[in-house]
Structure 1
Amino acid sequence: MTRRDMILAAGVAAAWGLNFLVIDGGMGGIPPLLFVAVRFAVVALFIVVVPRPAASWRTIVGVGLFMSLGQFGLLYTSMALGLQPGLAALLLQAQAVFTVVIAAGVLHERPTPSQATGVVLGVVGLGVVAAGRGGEAPAITVALALAAALSWAIGNVISRRAGIVTGRGRWGALSLTVWSATVVPVPALVLAVAVDGPLAVSAGLAAFGPAAALSTLYTAGLCTLVGYAVFNGLLARNPSAAVVPWVLLAPVVAMVAAALLLGDIPTPAEIGGGALLVMGVLITAIPPRTRRRLPRSVRGTAAAGDAAAVDNVRGQPVVRD
Structure 2
Amino acid sequence: MNGVMFALLALFWGGSFVSIDVGLHHFPPLLFAAVRYDVAGLLILGYAAVTTDRWKPQTRGDVLGIVTIGAFIIAGHHSLLYLGQEHVPGALAAVIVSLSPVLTAVFASTLFADEHVTPLGAVGLLCGVVGVAIVANPTPANLLSTDAVGIGLVFLAAASFALGSVLSQPFETGVSVPALQGWSMLFGSILIHAVSLGTGESPAAIDWSMSAVASLTYLVLISGVVAFLIYFHLLDTIGATELNLVGYLEPVVATLLSWLVLGELVASTTVIGFAAIFTGFALLKRDVLFDFWRAASPSVRRV
Task: Please tell me the TM-score bracket, short chain as reference.
Answer: 0.7 to 0.9
Looking at structure 2, the residues matched to 52 and 248 of structure 1 have their Cα atoms a distance apart, in angstroms, of 33
Looking at structure 2, the residues matched to 165 and 263 of structure 1 have their Cα atoms a distance apart, in angstroms, of 46
Say if 1:39 and 1:219, in contact at 8 Å, map to a contact too. Answer: yes
1:228 Cα deviation from its structure 2 partner: 2.2
Match of residue 136, structure 2, among 126, 130, 141: 130
Pair 138,159 (structure 1): closer, same or farther in 2 beyond 3 Å: same
User: Residue 66 of structure 1 aligns with which residue?
Assistant: 72
1:128 Cα deviation from its structure 2 partner: 1.1
1:287 Cα deviation from its structure 2 partner: 4.7
Looking at structure 1, the residues matched to 123 and 172 of structure 2 have their Cα atoms a distance apart, in angstroms, of 26
1:258 aligns with 2:267: no
CA displacement 1:208-257 (0-9 Å, x = unmatched): 34322322222222212221221232232235555443431111111122
What amino acid is the match of 2:47? V
User: For structure 1, which segment, 223-232 or 8-17, has the greater mean C-alpha deviation from structure 2 after superposition?
Assistant: 223-232
1:114 Cα deviation from its structure 2 partner: 4.9
User: Residue 267 of structure 2 aligns with which residue?
Assistant: 267
What amino acid is the match of 1:186? I
What amino acid is the match of 1:12? L
User: Residue 108 of structure 2 aligns with which residue?
Assistant: 103
Say if 2:80 and 2:154, in contact at 8 Å, map to a contact too. Answer: yes
User: Residue 278 of structure 1 aligns with which residue?
Assistant: 278
Say if 2:64 and 2:171, in contact at 8 Å, map to a contact too. Answer: no
User: Residue 186 of structure 1 aligns with which residue?
Assistant: 190
1:151 Cα deviation from its structure 2 partner: 0.6
Give 3-state SS (helix, strand or coil) of 1:217's partner: helix
Looking at structure 2, the residues matched to 58 and 191 of structure 1 have their Cα atoms a distance apart, in angstroms, of 21
Looking at structure 1, the residues matched to 179 and 238 of structure 2 have their Cα atoms a distance apart, in angstroms, of 20
Looking at structure 1, the residues matched to 285 and 227 of structure 2 have their Cα atoms a distance apart, in angstroms, of 19
Structure number, greater radius of gyration: 1
Match of residue 147, structure 1, among 156, 159, 173: 156
The RMSD of aligned alpha carbons is 2.6
Pair 39,130 (structure 1): closer, same or farther in 2 beyond 3 Å: same
CA displacement 1:249-273 (0-9 Å, x = unmatched): 1111111221333232222211111
Pair 186,236 (structure 1): closer, same or farther in 2 beyond 3 Å: closer
Looking at structure 1, the residues matched to 248 and 56 of structure 2 have their Cα atoms a distance apart, in angstroms, of 29
Say if 1:96 and 1:284, in contact at 8 Å, map to a contact too. Answer: no
| Seq. identity, % | 28
User: For structure 1, which segment, 244-253 or 151-160, has the greater mean C-alpha deviation from structure 2 after superposition?
Assistant: 244-253
Looking at structure 1, the residues matched to 246 and 73 of structure 2 have their Cα atoms a distance apart, in angstroms, of 21
Unaligned runs of 5+ in 2: 49-54, 290-303
Looking at structure 2, the residues matched to 160 and 242 of structure 1 have their Cα atoms a distance apart, in angstroms, of 17
Looking at structure 2, the residues matched to 238 and 152 of structure 1 have their Cα atoms a distance apart, in angstroms, of 22
Say if 1:244 and 1:285, in contact at 8 Å, map to a contact too. Answer: no
Pair 104,213 (structure 1): closer, same or farther in 2 beyond 3 Å: same
Report 1:95-244 matches (<5 A).
95-108=100-113, 109-131=115-137, 138-163=147-172, 172=177, 174-195=178-199, 197=200, 200-205=201-206, 207-238=207-238, 242-244=242-244
User: Residue 49 of structure 1 aligns with which residue?
Assistant: 47
Give 3-state SS (helix, strand or coil) of 1:160's partner: coil
What amino acid is the match of 2:166? V
User: Displaced runs of 4+ in structure 1, greater than 6 A?
Assistant: none
Pair 164,157 (structure 1): closer, same or farther in 2 beyond 3 Å: farther
Q: TM-score, normalised by structure 1?
A: 0.77
Say if 2:74 and 2:189, in contact at 8 Å, map to a contact too. Answer: no
What amino acid is the match of 1:119? L
Pair 153,224 (structure 1): closer, same or farther in 2 beyond 3 Å: same
1:73 Cα deviation from its structure 2 partner: 0.4
1:70 Cα deviation from its structure 2 partner: 0.6
Give 3-state SS (helix, strand or coil) of 1:156's partner: helix
CA displacement 1:261-288 (0-9 Å, x = unmatched): 3232222211111111123234435555
Q: TM-score, normalised by structure 2?
A: 0.81
Looking at structure 2, the residues matched to 145 and 104 of structure 1 have their Cα atoms a distance apart, in angstroms, of 22
